[in-house]
Structure 1
Amino acid sequence: MTEDVPGVMMGFMENWQGLSGTWRVTLVVFVLVLMTAVTAFIVSRLVLWLERRFANTNNLWDDAFLHAVRKPAMGMVWLLGVYWAADAAYRYSEAEIFQANEHLLRLGFIWLLVWTLIGMIKQGEQLLSTPGKVQRPMDYTTVSAVSKLLRAVVIITAVLIFMQSLGYSISGVLAFGGVGGIAIGFAAKDLLANFFGGFIIHLDRPFKVGDWIRSPDRNIEGTVEHIGWRLTTIRTFDKRPLYVPNAAFTTIAVENPSRMSNRRISETIGIRYSDARQMAAVVAEIRTMLESHEAIDTSQTLIVNFLAFNASSLDIMIYAFTKTTEWVKFHEIKQDVLLRISQIVDSHGAEFAFPTSTLHVPDGIELSGLDQQGQTS
């Protein structure tokens, strides 16, 4: 069918005896390109109309499909139009440059198919990971990994089909790739290590995009922004981007505070030695306060005990967990708990201790330069 359109138009132009062959071909090519432009515009408008029409439906996959195929559909129209125009020019001039027209048409079809598939994969990635579009959005890290894998499969398959269309043997290409892969593996071992490191991250999922992570082995701490096949981008708390090769995560320990179930309050306070008689009452009231606090998780370990005789204080250990894991809210709760502890200590007539020193002077020794009130004379 693609070969008939230029022939029909050339046959129609044969009746125009007043025009030379060059002008006839030029007119045919002009008409074909003009028709292609008009058809591409109509197709674009039609797809946009369908997108608006299906935007009101509950099914979001049709929207994703139409958005993915709109530009490839226009590309298909232009591919056929240019092919027909080139075929008409070849029938008149028989130039060697137009002999590649058939190959370009096949390669163009493959390229448009790849463009469409990659567009659908990207649309599916956005659809599955956006909370407002689906009832149960999937984890972005998992969706991103699957999307990258599918795109890699599509591109590799397209490259092999391209080479087969150009006359190369796929079996020979694969054999060369097996031998060349060994050499490439030695030359790019760090790149491959990062690639497999990224694969392990996607497989084991020690963290995902949006998690706060840190490493006790390296100076790494921040929020994960992107997990690529070679690098993981982390936004530190001073808002600097930190790019970490994926291979590093296979050799270091990584903490993921974002997955903690509770946040811990662990404090040691000290009261004066002169307030030892109030110790039991203070400890009991602090424990009661924590057990009745609405933000403290009483199902977790809760400890309030007289801990030790310190150099200048009697120490009390306070150990509890909050229900929230939010950093800002946790500090608000901790502030409230510490203020309540201060009020409890004050209500029992006790005071917090601070470092002091007591000087014992043996009997019979007088300190010169001081009067009876202990002031300098």
Structure 2
Amino acid sequence: MDIVQAYLQISPDPSIWLVQVFLVVLATVSCNFLLMRLIDLAEKIVARTESIWDDALLEAARIPVRLTVWLLGISIAATLLKQVGPNAFLDLLPELRRVVFIFIGALFLTRLISHLEVNLLDPARVSKPMDQTTAKAVAKLLRLSVIITAVLVALQTLGYSVSGVLAFGGIGGVAVGFASKDLLSNFFGGLMLYLDKPFKVGDWIRSPDRAIEGTVEDIGWRLTRIRTFDKRPLYIPNSMFASIVVENPSRMTNRRISENLGIRYEDGERMAPICSAIRQMLREHPEIDQAQTQIVHFTSYGQSHLEFMVYCLTRTTEWVKYHAVKEDVLLRIMAIVREHGAEFAYPTQTLHLASLPGREASGGPEAAGVQSGMPPR
């Protein structure tokens, strides 16, 4: 700004210095428009490349470049106005300008980190996308580091002692730690989730200990957001995951079909061929994993049926497709049972009536009623 004061002389006549300030603002707007067009042109050129850095740099620089141009324009205009008359606010301009430059640099770095995070997760940009949970954790740590560094540098620029601030933080850390015990426990709980990775964003998880079940949408430093199957958001403090059992069905390798079925007692001689045919069907089914356990055996005598078990595992773990495979297996079992002339059993009771002495010989109405199945009068 000293160069501006050396080469630009402002007239005390308001009709002149207002024009000079207007020209500075006009030049600022023109430079801003020109730089934005140049960035648009550069984005079209780098769109043909496969690098994850060039478009991230350009997109991250768009807003900081615009803010820098406006900051320079406003600073030049304010320096010109300072020559017209003294102003207490204009005296603070150099320190304020340096602080704004620091935060513009921090804004550029945080935007660059965010765009790199998106590029690293995009399968169209990288052959092996980074794990979403890891990428989010690293990006959050880097952004936090940039913000803390920017604040400390800004304080140092304004004349505050950074060592004094750090010393105060060390002394007050104990008090703050006791006051924010739950906050710290949630923070370290989130850190353990990022390190241990019991689940990641997009996984379906459930807890047998608590009424927790749904899809993980976000893992923050304090809360984990889960979307339940009825589409309600569920916010869980991270510290809770250190004391509960979490099941991650998304990482299952197979889904199980386990059914106990029964046929009639009068179809007992058909049990062995039915089980053999079902075993053959499972061995030939394209959606049944042949490397996993398969069980089809007669297991028990029920009260009104002969029970056999069908146990196998599907290749798919997808919920909807699994039910389609299970439906197909059960329909094939039904067809096999019918092909062998058997029927599935349902609860029945057989009542045996012993004839009284002399009733059958006399042929009275009571005996006739029992024989015909009619109730006695």
TM-score of the superposition, structure 2-length normalised? 0.93
Q: Tell me by how many angstroms 1:23 deviates.
A: 4.4
Amino acid at match of 1:94: P
Amino acid at match of 2:180: A
- What residue in structure 1 maps to residue 216 of structure 2? 224
- What residue in structure 1 maps to residue 363 of structure 2? none
- What residue in structure 1 maps to residue 324 of structure 2? 332
How many residue pairs are counted as aligned between the two chains? 369
- What residue in structure 2 maps to residue 62 of structure 1? 54
Q: Tell me by how many angstroms 1:371 deviates.
A: 5.7
Distance 1:159 1:202 in 2: 26
Q: Does 1:32 align with 2:32?
A: no
Distance 1:357 1:243 in 2: 53
Q: Tell me by how many angstroms 1:169 deviates.
A: 0.9
Q: How does 1:283-294 map to 2 (within 5 A)?
A: 283-294=275-286
Q: Does 1:306 align with 2:298?
A: yes
TM-score of the superposition, structure 1-length normalised? 0.93
- Please, which of 273, 276, 283 is the counterpart of residue 265 of structure 2? 273
- What residue in structure 2 maps to residue 108 of structure 1? 100
Amino acid at match of 2:214: G
Aligned-residue Cα RMSD (Å) equals: 1.8
Distance 1:240 1:39 in 2: 49
- What residue in structure 2 maps to residue 83 of structure 1? 75
Q: Tell me by how many angstroms 1:157 deviates.
A: 0.6
- What residue in structure 1 maps to residue 4 of structure 2? 5
- What residue in structure 2 maps to residue 242 of structure 1? 234
Q: Tell me by how many angstroms 1:29 deviates.
A: 2.5
Q: How does 1:120-135 map to 2 (within 5 A)?
A: 120-135=112-127
Q: Tell me by how many angstroms 1:202 deviates.
A: 1.0
- What residue in structure 2 maps to residue 17 of structure 1? none
Distance 1:21 1:96 in 2: 21
Distance 2:368 2:175 in 1: 90
Amino acid at match of 1:175: A
Q: Does 1:252 align with 2:251?
A: no
Q: Tell whether the 8 Å contact from 1:225 to 1:235 is kept in structure 2 after alignment.
A: yes
Q: Tell whether the 8 Å contact from 1:7 to 1:88 is kept in structure 2 after alignment.
A: no
Q: Tell me by how many angstroms 1:71 deviates.
A: 1.3
Distance 2:83 2:319 in 1: 74
Q: Tell whether the 8 Å contact from 1:6 to 1:85 is kept in structure 2 after alignment.
A: no
Distance 1:51 1:372 in 2: 96
- What residue in structure 2 maps to residue 191 of structure 1? 183
Amino acid at match of 1:250: A
- Please, which of 338, 345, 361 is the counterpart of residue 353 of structure 1? 345
- What residue in structure 2 maps to residue 117 of structure 1? 109
- What residue in structure 2 maps to residue 45 of structure 1? 37
Q: Tell me by how many angstroms 1:28 deviates.
A: 3.1
Q: Tell whether the 8 Å contact from 2:50 to 2:125 is kept in structure 1 after alignment.
A: no
Q: Tell me by how many angstroms 1:30 deviates.
A: 2.5
Q: Tell me by how many angstroms 1:21 deviates.
A: 4.5
Sequence identity, in percent? Answer: 51
Q: Tell me by how many angstroms 1:284 deviates.
A: 1.3
Q: Tell me by how many angstroms 1:67 deviates.
A: 0.9
Q: Deviations over 1:248-306 (max 9, x none)?
A: 11111111111100000011001112222111111111111111111111111111111
Q: Does 1:315 align with 2:298?
A: no
Q: Deviations over 1:297-319 (max 9, x none)?
A: 11111111111112222111111
Q: Tell me by how many angstroms 1:41 deviates.
A: 1.6
Q: Tell me by how many angstroms 1:96 deviates.
A: 2.1
Q: Tell me by how many angstroms 1:31 deviates.
A: 2.3
Gaps of 5+ in 2: 360-365
Amino acid at match of 1:272: R
Q: Deviations over 1:222-268 (max 9, x none)?
A: 11111111111111111111111111111111111111000000110
Distance 1:25 1:178 in 2: 52
Gaps of 5+ in 1: 15-19
Q: Deviations over 1:88-111 (max 9, x none)?
A: 222332322211111011111101
Distance 1:326 1:186 in 2: 46
**In the superposition, relative to structure 1, how do residues 185 and 370 fare at CA in structure 2: closer, same or farther (>3 Å)?**
farther
Distance 1:49 1:140 in 2: 31
Q: Tell me by how many angstroms 1:121 deviates.
A: 0.5
Distance 1:373 1:206 in 2: 70
Q: Tell whether the 8 Å contact from 1:283 to 1:305 is kept in structure 2 after alignment.
A: yes
